[in-house]
Amino acid sequence: MANLHFYYGVMGSSKSAALLINSYNYNQNKIHTEIIKPAYDTRFGATKVTSRIGLSADAVALKSLNEYAINPNTDVLFVDEVQFFTPDDINKLVHIADTQGKIVMCYGLLVDSNEHMFPASKRLIEVGAKLHRLKSTCQMNGCKCLATHHLRFDAHGKVIREGEQFALGDDNYKSVCRNHFYELYYNRGAH
């Protein structure tokens, strides 16, 4: 089994729920897990990972992984919102996976709302993490296509095309298919 995994998907693709379910299942089989997340993510509390469907578990919130040391009894390390870490933090996860025999399972977004890869997500691909796409459907009414992109909106419903990409919450975001992204982001008809 690969020891470094990246579970990625758009907002609403149940990434945190999958993390929590997988951690629970490992623990039920007497396999010790640990959950970490970036301190930046305070949406549901500083030391919790919570899914929108109500599942929750304790987590260690970290600003960086520079001083982080995995518990020696941990078999599987779960990392939520991995896109908010840095490439150097990903290198630390690689070190844990490769030198300590731990399974490291990362969950997060691949790209921002301007179609740019998050640096940490890019680093996971560069170091050869096993990729797992978590699927979700486009959030535009009536569309049944796979959601692959995010659109970010201002308070007036206009698409935001620039600015800070590290923004918490999903109130101003929609997960959409590629056609709807291009239609709305570039103000042109579906292609």
Q: Which residues are catalytic?
A: 81
Pairing mode, strands 48-50 and 56-58: antiparallel
Pairwise CA distance, residues 38 & 160, whole Å: 25
Helix (H) or strand (E) holding 164: none
Contact 92, 102 (CB under 8 A): no
Q: How many helices (H) and strands (E) does the chain have?
A: 4, 10
Helix (H) or strand (E) holding 8: strand 4-8
How far from 9 is each of 6, 14, 109, CA to CA, in Å? 10, 8, 6
Pairwise CA distance, residues 164 & 176, whole Å: 20
- Listing DSSP states for 92-117 in one string gives HHHHHHHHH--EEEEEE-SB-TTS-B
